[in-house]
Amino acid sequence: MTPIFAIITGPEIAIVVGLVVLLFGADRIPKLARSMGEAKKEFEAAQRGASRPLETAPSADAGTTTQTSPSSVPPASSVPPTTPPQI
């Protein structure tokens, strides 16, 4: 079985490049390439961020406590119970 890339030669590449120029225009191709590069950088940065372990809160035996402001977390008694919508 022949690899697919062995079939693609110079004339086919020239035809594809010509079609891309006709479809997008010569002035939009650099902008398109730049935006694709930025998207690749963001994707790789997100992959690196996802591969790092999550930071955990310090344990209670470490001698430190974490305090939250009262406005950020309401007390359990003030949260209304959720009910399914009536149809």
pLDDT tens across 30-87, in order? 998 999 999 999 999 998 887 666 566 555 555 555 555 555 665 666 656 677 667 7
Mean pLDDT of 2-12: 76
Res 8: pLDDT: 78
Tell me, what's the pLDDT at 40? 95
In the chain, what are the domain boundaries? 26-52
Question: What's the pLDDT at 26?
Answer: 86
- Higher-confidence residue: 87 or 20? 20
* 64 CB burial (10 A radius; 0-12, 13-18, 19+): exposed
pTM of the model: 0.41
Compute the average pLDDT of residues 7-33.
89
Q: CA distances (Å), 60 to each of 56, 63, 65, 66, 69, in order?
A: 12, 6, 7, 9, 19
Q: In the prediction, which pLDDT does 83 show?
A: 72
